[in-house]
Amino acid sequence: MKGSFFMGPRHTPGFEIREMTMPEPGAHDVLVKNMACGVCGTDIHIYHGEKGSAEVTPPVVLGHEYSGIVEKIGDKVTTLRPGDRVAIDPNRYCGICRPCRMGRKQNCQNLYALGVNTNGGFAEYSIVPEAQCYKINDDIDFDVAAMAEPLSCVIHGIDQADIRPGQTVAVIGGGAIGLLMVQMAKLSGASVVVLSEPISLRRQIGLEVGADFSVDPFTEDIQEKMAQYTGRTGADVVIECVGRPNAAQQALQLADMGATVLLFGVPPVDAAIPLPLFDVFSKELRIIGSRINPDTHQRAVGLISSGKLEIRKLITHTFRLEQLEQALHMQMSSDSIKVIVHPHD
C-alpha cells in the first residue's frame, strides 16, 4: 500500500510517497480502504509549520476529513462488517482530563487526531478505531461523505451561535466552511443570510446554496448593502469563517444589538484585534469561539443522508495521492472551494 507522508514544513518536497506495510487492525479497530480525503485548512496550517488542532511529528500521513470502505475488522468489533461504507471522525479524547470530565471534550488536554498525530486519510488504507467510524448509505458519494468531518465542526459552531427563527445572519468568508454555514443558518430558521466574500465564484455558489444576497467586502460597503436589503446595518448573528484579523473586525462591526459573534475561522496563534469595549457593553454582544466537533459527527452523517444540504457543488477539484502537494496549493488558491484527494485513483 502507498501513503503520502508529510516530511515537515522545511522539507522539499513537503510530501513523499512511500510503500507501507499493510496494517492489521487491533481488537477494537477496523482496516479502512480510504476512498476520498478532503484538504482542510488545518492541513495547510501544518504544511506551513503553524499550529494545528494537535501537535504534529513528521513523517506522518495527514488527512483527517475522509471516508472509505471497511476492509477488515478486529476480533471485538461488533457494529461494523467488511464492505460497510464509513465516514471517519478523526478526533479522540482522553475522557479523564478536567475539560473532558466537565463535558468539554473539545478542549481535551490530550486530544489525539487521526491524520494529525497518527496516519490518516492520505494513504490507500488506514487503521481506525471502531468508535470513530460512522456508517453511510450506499448511495452517498465518497467525496460527499468525506465532508462529514467539516460539516460536524460547522454543526458545533451553529450550536454555539444559537440562531433563532427569523433572525438575520451574516457569514464572513465563502470557502467550504462558510458555504456550509450559509446552508446551516437557513436550516436553523434564519430569515435572511448574507455572505461576505471577495471571490466572485464563491459569492455565486453562495447564492446558489441559499444566501439571500452577497457582498464583496473589498469593493462594496456591506453595511450599506445590508440596509438596502434588510433596513438594518447589522445582523443578529455574525459568523466569521476566515481566521484573519480583518474578518474578525468586520464581524464585530456587523454585530447588531444583542448579537452573537461566532469566531469560527482558525487564526494564527498570535493574531489579535482591538476590541471595541463600549460596543460590547452597549450592544450586549456575545462573542464566542468554536472548536472541532464534540458529539456532532452522527448529526453530520444524518444531514448528508437527508439530502438537505448542497455539498457536491462545493467540491471543485480532485487530485490523485501523488499530487497531494498540488492539492494543497489548489486549496490555498482562489480558484477552489473544496479540494478532495482520491488515494486509489
Phi, psi for residue 215 in degrees, rounded to 5:
-140, 140
ω before 25 within 30° of 0 (cis)? no
CA distance 52 to 47: 10
CA distance 105 to 66: 21
Catalytic residue (choose from 11, 12, 28, 45): 45
DSSP readout, 124-191?
Answer: SEEEEEGGGEEE--TTS-HHHHTTHHHHHHHHHHHHHHT--TT-EEEEE--SHHHHHHHHHHHHTT-S
Catalytic residue (choose from 12, 42, 156, 260): 42
Q: Could you confirm whether 296 is annotated as catalytic?
A: no
Between helix 148-161 and helix 297-306 the angle, nearest 10°, is 110
Q: Could you confirm whether 168 is annotated as catalytic?
A: no
C-alpha cell at 247: 474578518
The SS3 call for residue 227 is helix
Catalytic residues, by residue number, are 42, 45
